Amino acid sequence: MNYKETDSQLIYSPLWWHERGLSQTASGYGRKLTTPYKVEHNGRLYRVYCVCWSNSGTLYILPGGEPLYLASSNIHYPEA
């Protein structure tokens, strides 16, 4: 597993179903759930995805097609 080492600020960038309060899947679980966030990596913004099979999820981005996992200690969540 590869982890993004640097600090990251999540940028709120919802898709249409996020704005309407809809889920991407009927169950809410999945391997590549699209989140309403993006994060900067190497000077470019990447959509943040989540793998969720239980009551917790793991966030990752796909630079170059390979997953790069976001360590929760390096993420700065936007203020509400």
Query: Residue 27 — pLDDT band, cuts 50, 70, 90?
Result: confident
Whether the full predicted model's pTM is greater than 0.95, yes or no, is no
Q: Which two tokens stand for residue 13?
A: 């960038």
* Helix/strand/coil (H/E/C) assignment for every residue in 4-53: ECCCEECEECCCHHHHCCCCCCCCCCEEEEEEEEEEEECCEEEEEEEEEC
For 40-74, write each residue's pLDDT tens digit: 998 999 999 999 988 888 899 999 999 999 887 66
